[in-house]
Structures are given as C-alpha cells and as structure tokens.
C-alpha cells in the first residue's frame, strides 16, 4: 500500500484527488492533508477519510513520510511545494500549470530525474476517450500543417478561488484552462519542435463587469487577461492557433475543442471525429460516441500506475510540463511586448 498526502485542502483536492484515492482503499493509506488553515484541514480530513492535518509541508513530511503527494495549491505555490516533496523522495502529482515560470518547471523536472521520482501533471483532457481515439488514428490525417485549440467562454470568469489574481495565478484563461487544450494539442501532435510564438491579449470585459455564468467577482481586483490569442510556429512548417477567454462576446456559452487539419483528413477532439472531403461532401472516417468518463481519474490512475512500474502508463511528465510552461511563458511575453518570441 502507498501512503498518500495532499497539499492544499480546496475544491480540486476534495472533488478530484481525494475522491480518486478513496476509490482504492486496498491500494492507498490516506495519511494527511496540508493547509495553512488548520481548521479547514481538519474538516477536509473528516469529510474525506484522511487521518491527520498539518499546516506545513515540512512537518507533514517528517511525521508521515508519504510515498505519494498531490499538490493542489494556488499556482504560485506549486514550485516550492513540489521541490520540497521531491527532495523528500516522494512521487508527485501536481495540478496544472506546473509552475509560474519555465525556469521553475525545468528545476522541478531535473530534480525529479535526480531523485528518480515520478513527477506528473494533471492535464486530464489528453486522457479522454476522444483523445485516445485520435492519438491511435493520427496517421489517417497525413501531414498535419494547421491546428487550432480553443478554450473560450462567453462569460465564464471564475467567481471563486484566486483565478483573477495574476500574482497568485500567473495569468488568466491561457494558464488556467487554455493550458489543457495546449497540452492536448501538443500531445496529439507528438510535441513537435517549436520555432517561435506570437500572441495578443486583452482586458476588455473582466474589469467592467462583476457577474457571469461562474458567479460574481470584484472588477477592481481583476488583474488577469480576459482573452488571449496566439500562434505557435513549428519547425516542420505547421502552425497551432490557440484562442482562450474568460469573457468574450461570442454566441456559444463556451467552446472547448481542438481541430487538426492534415493533407489527407481532418479531426476534432470534441466530439471525437476524423473526416475528409469527398467530391464536395463530408465523409466521416472514424468517430467515437462517449458516455460519461472521468478524465481526472484516468489521469491520476496513469500516474499511480507509473509509480508502481507499469510500462504502459502514460503521464504528462516533468519534461513535457517544462515545454508547456515555456510555451505559456512565451505567449505571455509576446502579448506583453508585441513581438514574436523565439524558442
């Protein structure tokens, strides 16, 4: 059995990580949670069958010596938390994004290698049945030269947590949930070498409104972008467009999808389809109909299988986490400076 601890006693810790670990009582000892608010930590333990609550990672590591630690803190604290846990020799499953900077993400990756520990990130959309189908049939598309990743909301500024605080989060929709479509697109494309990125960001709506489909917020405290649009140029000549928003005057309430265009066929992630044109008519080559699927659980399960040595397990590892963080950083840099950023 593996002894498990969670750092951060918030919503994702409870609804995703603790919920997964509770499904395998024969595999995991639910040892501890760490949160600076001890009362919240104690309540988390009571509600989620964990044994002990601590206010510092250091005390938890000393007293519990866990095998696996989930990091569920605000983005700003990912780096210090992950580094402390890796130094202690634990395997780490961290919420996205990896960190606040690419230097931090690289340090995390290298320390995991040095300690021979498993480090993985919760990019759950790459584990969807749709992504699995596309990955297995990607050759049908031929030479993929144009791709588009959309993570758009018409009025979806989060009304909870720290999502509108740039100092704590590092940014808005791009680093919050656009990062999921970025990861999945690069995963499907097999992480091609990137030459350069360019981007534009806007803050037109968040500071002017205070209510949307995800609750209310204080516009005076809104310090992140409410939309960002970027282009990623690959060494192979292809490009990936990424479009993200918390708030954007579009017709649908939201759009979460990836489109891949090859010289033989095209594909969409949601719903999962591969198609081509035949004399002016759309021909469906392959599609998948999906009932409910918990991609988060599949993501954590692959991490756990990696920890116990399953060679078939696939994780968003430290190296890929660094690449994603570097692209996010470059997109923000381009948007802030108005110039193209070479990688």
pLDDT digits (tens, 9 = 90+) for 174-194: 999 999 999 999 999 999 999
3-state secondary structure of 111: helix
CA 332, CA 334: separation in Å to the nearest integer?
A: 5
DSSP lists the bridge partners of residue 7 as 34, 71
Question: What is the C-alpha separation between 76 and 20, in angstroms, rounded?
Answer: 24
Token digits for 259? 């489109």
C-alpha to C-alpha distance for 71 and 136, rounded to whole angstroms: 31
Q: Other CB atoms closer than 10 Å to residue 193's CB: what's the count? A: 9
Residue 125: partners with Cβ closer than 8 Å, 6 or more residues away? 131, 180, 181, 183, 184, 269, 295
Core vs surface per residue 215-225: b (16+ CB within 10 A) or e: eebeeeebbbb
Query: Span 2-123+297-315: which CATH code?
Result: 3.40.50.720
Please identify which residue in the block is written with the tokens 């991490």.
Answer: 303
Q: Rounded to an integer, what distance in angstroms lies between the CA atom of residue 49 and that of residue 228?
A: 41
Q: Pseudo-torsion of CA 268, 296, 90, 44, nearest 10°?
A: 150
- pLDDT in the model for residue 157: 97
DSSP character string of 118-161: -EEE--GGGGSHHHHHHHHTGGGG-SEEEEEEEEEESB---SST
pLDDT (tens digit per residue) in 14-49: 999 999 999 999 999 999 999 999 999 999 999 999
Q: Given the DSSP bridges, would you call strands 316-317 and 227-234 parallel, antiparallel or unpaired?
A: unpaired
Site of tokens 């069958």: 49
Name the one residue in this structure whose structure tokens are 């949307």: 212
* CATH 3.30.360.10 location in the chain: 125-294+324-342
Residue ranges, comma separated, of all CATH 3.40.50.720 domains in the chain are 2-123+297-315
Q: Regarding the domain delimited by 125-294+324-342, which CATH topology (the fold level of the hierarchy) does it fall under? A: Dihydrodipicolinate Reductase; domain 2 (3.30.360)
- One digit per residue, pLDDT tens: the chain, 343 residues? 999 999 999 999 999 999 999 999 999 999 999 999 999 999 999 999 999 999 999 999 999 999 999 999 999 999 999 999 999 999 999 999 999 999 999 999 999 999 999 999 999 999 999 999 999 999 999 999 999 999 999 999 999 888 999 999 999 999 999 999 999 999 999 999 999 999 999 999 999 999 999 999 999 999 999 999 999 999 999 999 999 999 999 999 999 999 999 999 999 999 999 999 999 999 999 999 887 789 999 999 999 999 999 999 999 999 999 999 999 999 999 999 999 999 9
Label the pairing between strands 227-234 and 215-216. Answer: unpaired
What's the DSSP call for residue 193?
P
Q: Check: CB of residue 275 under 8 Å from CB of residue 136.
A: no
pLDDT at residue 293, as a whole number: 86
């Amino acid at each position: 059995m593996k002894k498990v601890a969670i750092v951060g006693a918030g919503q994702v810790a409870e609804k995703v990580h603790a919920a997964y670990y509770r499904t395998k009582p024969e595999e995991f000892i639910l040892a501890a949670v760490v949160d600076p608010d001890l009362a919240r930590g104690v309540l988390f333990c009571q509600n989620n069958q964990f044994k002990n609550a601590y206010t510092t990672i250091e005390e938890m590591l000393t007293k519990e010596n866990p095998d696996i630690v989930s990091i569920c803190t605000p983005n700003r604290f990912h780096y210090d938390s992950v580094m402390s846990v890796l130094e202690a020799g634990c395997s780490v499953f961290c919420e996205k994004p990896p960190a606040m900077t690419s230097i931090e993400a690289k340090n995390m990756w290298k320390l995991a290698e040095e300690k021979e520990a498993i480090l993985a990130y919760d990019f759950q959309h790459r584990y969807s049945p749709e992504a699995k189908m596309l990955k297995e049939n990607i050759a049908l598309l031929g030479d993929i030269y144009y791709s588009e990743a959309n993570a758009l909301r018409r009025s979806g500024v989060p009304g909870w947590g720290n999502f509108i605080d740039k100092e704590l989060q590092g940014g808005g929709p791009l680093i919050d949930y656009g990062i999921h479509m970025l990861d999945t697109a690069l995963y499907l494309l097999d992480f091609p070498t990137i030459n350069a990125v360019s981007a534009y960001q806007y803050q037109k709506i968040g500071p002017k409104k205070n209510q949307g489909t995800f609750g209310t917020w204080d516009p005076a405290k809104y310090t992140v972008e409410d939309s960002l649009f970027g282009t990623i140029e690959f060494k192979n000549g292809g490009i990936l467009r990424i479009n993200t928003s918390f708030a954007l005057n579009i017709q649908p309430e939201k759009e979460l999808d990836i489109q891949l265009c090859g010289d033989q066929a095209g594909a969409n992630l949601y719903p999962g389809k591969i198609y081509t044109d035949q004399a002016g008519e759309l021909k469906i080559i392959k599609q998948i109909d999906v009932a409910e699927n918990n991609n988060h659980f599949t993501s954590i399960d692959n991490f756990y299988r990696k920890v116990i040595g399953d060679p078939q397990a696939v994780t968003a590892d430290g190296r890929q986490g660094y690449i994603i963080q570097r692209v996010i950083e470059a997109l923000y840099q381009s948007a802030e400076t108005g110039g193209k950023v070479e990688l």
